[in-house]
Amino acid sequence: MDFVIVANEWGAGKQNPTSKHHIALELIAKGHRVLWLESSGMRRPSLRSGSDRWRIKNKVVRALGGMSKVDLRDGSLHVLPLLQAPFPECGAVRRVNGLVARHSALTCCRQLGFKTPVLVNYSPVLAHMMEGWPGRKVYHCVDKWDAFGMYDAEMMREMNGLACREADIVIASSNELFRLCRAVNENTHLVTHGVAHGHFAAAAGAAAGRPADMPPGKTAGFAGLISGWVDQDLLVCVARKNPDAGIFLIGKADVDTARLQEEPNIRMPGPKEFEDLPGYISGFGVGMIPFKVNDLTRAVNPLKLREMLAAGCPVVSTALPEVESLRDRMPENQKRHVMIADDADRFAQMVRDCLAGPPAVAEKRALSEAMRCEDWPAKVHEMLRLIA
């Protein structure tokens, strides 16, 4: 089939590929053709922000360059940056942006010879693009958009509902999102996130050398965006109650992390290439999902949970519903490697216990094997079955 995927920047997936990037890569590996549309943001940019000004300039330059082809290991895809008015809070602007996006996408589809392409929309602010689309329409809901503090909650709730109504099929990545979307569109299905199993399984029990920038000795690690949903109070507690261990936090930070950097055993090396992540995770004695529990995270299905488990790394998490759901589906002899803490003290103690008695190589490999059924080929196969 031919697919048009409406999402964020394709290049953003180089260091931290999202579910959207993994799904596109798997579709291409299965022989499908993909046009990736880079949508505009979901908030009005601030001209006082140097970062926002740079992003505006970059988007304009790239949009003026038109559609481009990206060569990949298993084939290629085409990328079309959309040039849109950055005022999503205005209903009229959203309608015009949707009309322009639909026209631009269909023009490129004709150029590429796409036949009745399937539209897979990840951007609720472009829900109007789905109106009048000539092929199947899928809304893939991967976040509770109205729970993000930086977005207009009422607008995101409205557009999420419109995207659900316009879709022929809605796919939700968590039980909470399934519940919310199913109330709007009965043809809603739960397909949880997957994992690049082979990529991470190679690190399970591997004897590869420890990355040079990792602290020596016992290490508790995290990989992902360090944003407002990361519980910095909890991480400080973990660091102070485990002074003999290194706390290694991989990822870009978009919030103030000064208090984390003040702790002598917390190290924040910044983002790492996706290709290098298994090597770092293999150095973790335990992985962490240190998220606050709120309306946003109760709907989150953390990718890094499966990635760390696929690498044979035990995980300690806060009480997130999707972590509990995955643990419940695991084989009985593997459930002990997913520990869930109700408070910071308990979280810190679980980290300490894991570091004191890490699993043997055979256990790590068995834990990794338990994640094989969660790989991206299986998830995309299920999505294709539902779409077809």
354-364 mean pLDDT: 92
CA distance 40 to 111: 23
pLDDT of residue 133: 97
> Which position has the higher pLDDT, 137 or 51?
137
Confidence of residue 90 (pLDDT cuts 50, 70, 90): confident
Q: pLDDT by residue (tens digit) across 283-303?
A: 999 999 999 999 999 999 999
- Is CATH 3.40.50.2000 what the domain over 197-370 is classified as, yes or no? yes
177-198 mean pLDDT: 97
192-203 mean pLDDT: 94
CA distance 338 to 330: 9
Domains of the chain, residue spans:
2-195+376-387, 197-370
Q: Are 309 and 317 in contact (CB under 8 A)?
A: no
- Sign for the pseudo-dihedral over CA of 244, 355, 221, 122: negative
The reported pTM is 0.92
Q: Residue 210: is its pLDDT beyond 90? A: no
- Mean pLDDT rounded to a whole number for the chain: 92
Q: Residue 27: is its pLDDT beyond 80? A: yes
Confidence of residue 382 (pLDDT cuts 50, 70, 90): very high
248-260 mean pLDDT: 95
Of 387, 374, 282, the C-alpha closest to 2 is: 387
Name the strands in the sheet holding 219-223, side by side, starting at the edge strand that comes first in the sequence: 266-270, 246-250, 219-223, 286-289, 315-318, 338-341
- CATH of region 2-195+376-387: 3.40.50.2000
- Return all residues near 330 (Cβ < 8 A) that are at least 6 apart: 338, 370
pLDDT of residue 223: 95
- Sign for the pseudo-dihedral over CA of 157, 299, 6, 120: negative
Q: Are 2-195+376-387 and 197-370 equal in CATH topology?
A: yes
